[in-house]
Amino acid sequence: MKRGYPVEDGAHIGIRTVRRFLENFGDNFDVIIFVCSDETREAYEKILPLYFPRNPKEEKVAISLLPEDIGNEMGEPVIAERQIRILDKPTVAALKCSGIEDFEETVDLNKEFASKSVSEVGRHPFAHMEEDPDKDRKVSMLGKSSVEHRRLEQRRRYERFLKRSKSEDLTEISMLRCLYRTGVDKHGRPVIVLIGKHFPANEVNLEKALLYLIRILDPVADQDYIVVYIHTLSTSENHPPMNYLKEVYAVLDHKYKKNLRAFFIVHPTWWSKLATWFFTTFTATDIKSKVFSMRGVQFLYRIINPDQFDVPTFVHDYDIKVNGPRYFVPFENDTDGL
């Protein structure tokens, strides 16, 4: 605008370029800020809705108001006069078209190279040109930084989910009472409880469920913590898809896996044992040694005091029904190191 370029034309180009860029790389950004001066603000406020309509009605109106030149794939204006055109022997062609015959013929490089010996051609500068001079350097850098790049991308993705978990309304998930923090174990570590029967996997918004999981776990995941999954009376309607579990595991920050001290599964079934084995063998290998199956709630009292462990009544009723009013058997897995 400082060079006298029309304000509205410039606004069209700037906003359109951002729109095209977001269509290709939108997942990498949370907020786009347009910094305007007093003289350009009005134009941007007027033109922004044309490229970012909020509903189908605005989109329909915007189509009729967009300029004829909507630019190339990146939103840049296309000026035919500025396109580079390369002709075969352009000097010769131009002179011949002008009727001028007295000119020096251009050299046919292919013919010249063909007339040289192999050794001479090998010494020619063209013989040493590379398709991409930076290719080797890029490959080298990629090999060294690919792991760091993946970690950085994973961290950024998690940060976006964390931000959403703090701002979005997740009342619908919290009211299910399927995930909550109950107390601490005998070592003072926070205890997180998952109630399988309370999770309607086929009906609930799974993305919001992930956000709620992050909201509950993030405050405790910076230190050692334990998770107790109550599988009591769960059915297929309570089982989330395996792909969803993989997605959750991929999203969660590294600290969740590192600081998880133990993952207990109470009242496991044949299905849950098979699913757990499959998941920890092929996806969550770094927590496989931290997973323990428990036939009853009472077995957990070696790790968690009863007054620190809040579970629904139906779990205790089922416990008594299956294991008897008085029972005590050793742990299925060795948990002395917990």
Q: For the residues 230-250, what does the mean pLDDT come to?
A: 94
- What pLDDT does 335 receive? 55
Is pLDDT above 70 for 82? no
Confidence of residue 65 (pLDDT cuts 50, 70, 90): confident
pLDDT digit string, tens, across residues 294-336: 999 988 999 999 999 999 999 999 998 888 876 655 555 555 5
The answer for residues whose C-beta is within 8 angstroms of residue 158's C-beta and 6 or more apart is 214, 251, 252, 253
**Which phi and psi angles does 202 have, rounded to 5°?**
-85, -10
Least-confidence region, from 98-102, 197-201, 253-257:
98-102
Which of 23-27, 45-49, 122-126 is predicted with the least confidence, judged by mean pLDDT? 122-126
Find residue 193's DSSP bridge partners: 180, 228
Rounded Cα–Cα distance for residues 233 and 231 (Å)? 6
Vertex 269: Cα angle to 234 and 306 (nearest 5): 70
Burial of 212 (0-12, 13-18, 19+ CB in 10 A): buried
Reply yes or no on whether the pLDDT at 197 is more than 90.
Answer: yes
Nearest to 11 by CA among 57, 82, 67, 80: 67
The segment with the largest mean pLDDT, out of 2-6, 13-17, 224-228, is 224-228
CB atoms within 10 A of CB 134: 9
Stronger pLDDT, 111 or 5, i.e. the higher one: 5
- What are the pLDDT digits (tens) for 246-290? 999 999 999 999 999 999 999 999 989 999 999 999 889 999 999
Q: How far apart are CA 91 and CA 258, in angstroms?
A: 69
Residue 248, pLDDT score: 95
At residue 18, the pLDDT reads 87
Instruction: Flag the least confident range among 109-113, 133-137, 147-151, 253-257.
Output: 109-113
Is residue 196 predicted with pLDDT exceeding 80? Answer: yes
Q: Is the pLDDT of residue 143 over 70?
A: no
Q: What is the pLDDT of residues 148-159, one digit of tens each?
A: 878 888 899 999
Q: Which is nearest to 180 in space by CA: 189, 190, 188?
A: 190
Cα(222)–Cα(255) distance, integer angstroms? 6
pTM (predicted TM-score): 0.57
Residue boundaries of the structural domains of the chain? 7-80, 171-323
Query: Half-sphere exposure of 30 toward its Cβ, with a 13 Å CA cutoff?
Result: 9
CA distance 2 to 6: 10
Determine the angle formed by the axes of helices 38-51 and 7-25, rounding to 10 degrees.
Answer: 50
Give the pLDDT confidence score for residue 135 in this predicted structure.
62
pLDDT band (50, 70, 90) for residue 32: confident
* Highest mean pLDDT (candidates 58-62, 107-111, 215-219, 280-284): 215-219
Which is nearest to 242 in space by CA: 292, 192, 206, 289?
206
Report pLDDT for 24: 79
Alpha helices in the chain (DSSP H): 7-25, 38-51, 56-65, 90-97, 109-115, 118-123, 135-167, 171-174, 206-217, 242-251, 254-259, 270-282, 313-323
Look over the chain and give the mean of its residue pLDDT values, rounded to a whole number: 81
**What pLDDT, on the 0 to 100 scale, is given for residue 123?**
56
Q: Give the residue carrying structure tokens 């000119």.
A: 103
For 66, the token pair is 């967009």
CA distance 121 to 113: 7
Q: Can you give the pLDDT at residue 175?
A: 95
Q: What is the pLDDT of residue 80?
A: 62
Assigned CATH for 171-323? 3.40.525.10
pLDDT of residue 113: 52
